[in-house]
Structure formats: structure tokens, C-alpha cells
A and B are shown apart, each in its own frame.
Chain A
């Protein structure tokens, strides 16, 4: 009983269990689904979403919300492509430039939220429109990029036996590990969790919630731009209409990974797990042979829905049974 209760209070454990069940079931159904090659592709294919979701996770932990992620990603992608093709920039320099640009745009949104005391929902909604307009004014058509540096980057693989990982997968992995470490044990991570958990208490402790939140929106903008860079490296082109709705997928992945929308709680490893879960479902649908946007949406959305509903139900049950037993287990419940 108390073991179950403990599990219910750990959303991440729930996600892991769900993922494991899915892998076992799908692996029994299809030969070759659970293999090093599929895993390598899964990581490489979902690096774009993975990077974007890390940014969404950071902002959510700080008690905010960023709806501009998809547009910033597209704008960074087309911007980098334009810099390389028309500006003659070296790809790495162009990438660094657009990531800084994304961070600056995010910081600007953060300043607007804090200085004008506006809801993040509205400011980042405006950011969604403005960044998309900026992307479209850079170039309406998609822009193919061919550059020796980019080609070399695409060919780079780190091999571990049968398993191999490319630059995008490495970047996602590194960003996830760095975020996990920073969130758990760095001064910045502690500040973010404090501000997201209770901004007023954080203020009384001498932290500066406004400053932390501006930093978070800058971080999210930077991650979104990094996702745009991943898009360019992965597809060899930038497009102003790419990544529409990426922000919602990113938020969904973060939530499945155990991040609370109420702030204060979150996990980088869980977010990566959420992204992997979505990617895995798409792989299964691919193996099933019913390739279609409809099935993918229903499966991903249904899983998301089932997961959050199950978690809410379990938490309620745990809270009720804990109070009934008079047990001392502390169960965190998302306050709405």
C-alpha cells in the first residue's frame, strides 16, 4: 500500500513504468523494433523536439509558460539558413548567432512579462505571432543549405558497437544531462525551483523572482533556437513554416516527464523520457504500417491524456488514503 502510494507521488516513476510496459508489448509484437538501430534513429529523429522540450521544462519549473517556442524555432532555422546561403557565414558561426538571437528574443518576452506584469500566456502568444512573422519575412520559401561543414557534421557518428549516435543526439543528450545537473544541484536550479514553487516566499528569502524568470525565458528562447539549428542540421534546409505547434508538443512532453504546470517541480531526464515516448509511439505506428498524421495524433494525444488523468487520479487516491491512514507520507499534489 505505502509502496503504491509512494509511486503515485512520483510522476517520473509512473512515466518510466508506462514506457517500459509499452516497450515490452511493442517489442513482443514486432521483430527488430527494440534494437540498437531503432534506438539510434529515435534519438536522432527527436533531438529537435527534445531540445525544445528542455526549454519548455525550465520555464514551467519557474512557474511560467512559453508559447513562442515553435515560431522561434522556425525563425532560427530559416535565419541560420539565410545567413549561410546569402550571408556567406560559416554554419557554426550562423548557429551561434541565431541561438543568441533566440535567447535575446526570449529575454525580451521575459522583460515584457515582468515589467508590464502581464500573463505569460498573452506575451508569449504575441511572441508566437511576431517570431513567425519575422521568420516569414526572412524567406517565404524553404531554403536548402549545402556546406562542407554541414555535410561533415551530418556524417559524424560516434559508434559503440552496433549503436551509433550523431551530433544531434549528442547535443540533446548533453543538454539533458546538463539541465538535469543544473536543476538538481546548481545555484541557478535551486533558485528556479524556489521561485516556481512559491515566488513570494522566494522574494522574502532575498531571491529576485523577476530576474530568474527573465533568465528562464532567455533560456527557453535559446533552446528553441537550438531546436531550429537541429532542424537545419537534420533536414539540410530551413523553413519559415516549420515547427508549428512545436510548443504544445514540447509542453506535453515536459508534463509527461513529470513537470508540473503549477511550477516548482520538473525533471530534465523525465522530459527526455516524454520526448522518447512520443517518438517511440511514432516508430510503432510506422512499424504498424498505418502511417498517418491522424493515428499519430490520436495515439500521442491519447497517451498524454491517459497519463495526466491517471496521475491526477492516483494522486487524489494517495492523498485520500494517506489522510485516512494518518500516514506521514507527504504527497505533492499539483495545486491548480
Chain B
């Protein structure tokens, strides 16, 4: 009995093992990968770099974890990232203040999230259809808002805020920490977490038990929209511009991948937020190591494909049937 429980506990740390193994292999095979240094009051090194690069996927994947835990899926996060980035850039172009840019991005994320939630909850559309449609529309809206050009964002103070290094750590990484803390508190300290996992596990039973299933699922889409908008702010401030055509392309697939590696079942019913972050980090560690090795980008694609299959096959027994 006890040994079984220990085994289950150990198995639940699987994403962490993947991260550690990836890191060890990378550190062993790549010169200077494991180096960490304190320079000019900031922590630098390949591992920190991997963390920073993983930020957009981590942010989007945190929101997606909630949606998937509720038994849904959100394919529109990449497009929301692009729309939020363009919105922030446009507003900062006109207004110049960082606060207005942030408000614009979050407002747009909220709007698309509410649209997705309405389509799924009120109209009863299959989440994959509804968010596929909004993915296409929102990407188009981002392109229209950008007017066919890459919009610069360097005039607002946003770039400086996100480039700051409080306590030597990148601000964007701290942002991930904040969002994680907020979601984790919502999940563990409030009824939201219980309602969410109950709704994802068995929506019918949850409804019969009197839980506000519709409101909970609606909230997950709104939160996913907000998280993707935050990712848009980070991406825009990192490259000091918003590119409506290429920003966040395939982000939804990477984010879903991070959630899956983290062991959140696609059939819903469980939200593993920390494991999602670990999964995103493992993916980015792999990518950074391959980049430092000078491997062609398409080899990274191949490895990613194999990782999906291996992660899915090892996590299999706890899974229900497909979401499709």
C-alpha cells in the first residue's frame, strides 16, 4: 500500500525528471551550457537564457492548463499573443505610456477570451471548432490592426520595465512566477480549483451537484486569453516591435505540448500548473542546447515530434480518450 503510494508520488514528478535529464545531457554535451555567472548585477548563463526564452510559452501554457483541466482546448492563444502585441504597440505609439499599452493588451486578451467562452459555454460549440475559428479571425484582426507593417513599441516605458532585472533575475521570468502564484492560489485556496477539476472530470455530474459549470469554464477561457495577452506584451517588448504575421505562430502547439509533458490529461479533470512550467522549461532547454550545438532548426522540430510521442506514450494509463 505504502509503496504503491510512494510509486505514484514518484511517477507524478515525471516532468521534473524529463527536465533534469534534458539539462544534464545538455550540460554534459554542450560546452558552457552549465555556466552561470553574476555579471553587472544580473545572473547570466544558458540556463537563464532558456528560462527567458520559455516565458511566452510558459505564460500561455499556464492559461491553457486551466482550459484543458476544464475539458476544453484553446487554439487561439498564438493569435491572441499577436493581437495583444499589436494592440500594445499601437496604443504606445499614440499615447506613449506603458500603463495604457498594458491595459490595451489585457483588454484585448479579455475580449477574445470572453468570445471563446461565450462560443463554448453559451452556444455549446466544440472547443476545438470555436477556438479554431477565433484563431483565424483574431490573427486576421491583428494583421488589420498592424496595417501590414511591423509596429515598433520602443517609445513606451514597457520595454524598460520588462528588461529590468530586479534581484538579478529577468522581470519576464518573475512575471511567470506571479501568474503561476495567482493561478495556484485560485486553484488551491478557493473553490474555483475544486469546481474546475470537477467540471472537467464530469461536467454532467458537476452540473447536477449544483456547481456553476458554465461560469467556471467561461472563466478558464478568459484567464487563458489574459495569459496569452501577457505573453504578447513580453514578446513585443523583447523584440521592441509587434509582428502581426509571425508573432506567436505555432505557440498554441508548443503550449499544448508543455501542458501534455506536464501530465495534465487532455481529457480534463486535473490542473498541474507547476508541472506545466517544468514541461515548458524542458522543451526550451532542449531547444537551447540544440541551438548551442549548431544543429539545424528542423532537427529541433523532429526532436519535438519524438518528444510528444514519448511523453504521450509514457503518461498513457491515466488518460481518457481523445478530445477530438
Interface residues of chain A, those whose CB is within 8 Å of chain B, are: 63-65, 112, 116-123, 125-130, 132-134, 136-137, 140, 248, 251-252, 255, 261-262, 292-302, 304-305, 308-309, 312-313, 316, 334, 336
Contact = CB atoms under 8 A, between A and B. Distances in A.
B129 A308 contact: yes
A119 B260 CA distance: 11
B141 interface: yes
A119 B322 contact: yes
A133 B305 CA distance: 9
A122 B143 contact: no
A335 B197 CA distance: 21
Contact of A301 (B134, B146, B297, B321): B134
For B75, B123, B138, the residue with the greatest tally of chain A CB atoms inside 10 Å of its CB is B123
Interface residues of B, number: 50
B305 A127 contact: yes
Given A252-B133, A308-B129, A119 B301 contact: no
Contacts of A120: 322, 324
B162 interface: no
A297 B76 CA distance: 13
Contacts, number: 150
Interface centre among A119, A128, A296 (most CB of B within 10 A): A119
A164 to B, nearest CB: 32
B209 to A, nearest CB: 19
B13 interface: no
Interface of B: 75, 119, 123-126, 128-130, 132-144, 146, 148, 244-245, 253, 256-257, 260, 266, 296-299, 301-302, 304-306, 308-309, 312-313, 316, 319, 321-324
B107 to A, nearest CB: 19
A251 B141 CA distance: 21
Contacts of A304: 132-133, 136
Given A136-B301, A294-B143, A305 B308 contact: no
A294 B125 contact: no
Contact of B128 (A133, A261, A302): A261
A125 B323 CA distance: 13
Contacts of A137: 296, 298-299, 302
Given A252-B132, A292-B144, 18 more contacts: A64-B322, A64-B324, A118-B313, A119-B322, A121-B323, A122-B260, A129-B301, A129-B304, A137-B302, A248-B132, A262-B126, A293-B143, A295-B140, A297-B139, A301-B135, A308-B129, A309-B125, A313-B123
Given A119-B266, A305-B133, A312 B141 contact: no
Given A133-B305, A296-B140, A65 B322 contact: yes
Contacts of B123: 309, 312-313
B140 A297 contact: yes
B298 A136 contact: yes
Nearest to A292: B148
Contacts of B322: 64-65, 119-121
A336 B134 contact: no
Nearest to B300: A133
Contacts of A308: 125, 129-130, 133
A331 B79 CA distance: 35
* Most chain A beta-carbon contacts within 10 A, residue among B260, B308, B316, B321: B308
Nearest to B75: A248
A140 B301 CA distance: 14
Nearest to B299: A133
B102 to A, nearest CB: 24
A130 B323 contact: no
A136 B300 CA distance: 11
Given A119-B322, A298-B141, A309-B123, A251 B132 contact: yes
Contact of A261 (B139, B142, B324): B324
A301 B137 contact: yes
A298 B324 contact: no
A122 B312 contact: yes
A261 B135 contact: no
Contacts of A132: 298, 301
8 contacts: A116-B316, A118-B313, A121-B323, A255-B129, A261-B324, A297-B137, A301-B133, A312-B125
Given A120-B322, A121-B266, A312-B125, A294 B144 contact: yes
A312 B143 CA distance: 29
Contacts of B244: 294
Nearest to A127: B305
Contacts of B304: 129
Nearest to A251: B132
Give me the 4 closest cross-chain CB pairs, A-B, nearest first.
A297-B140, A301-B136, A294-B143, A129-B305
A315 to B, nearest CB: 9
Contact of A309 (B119, B136, B305, B319): B119
Contacts of B124: 312, 316, 336
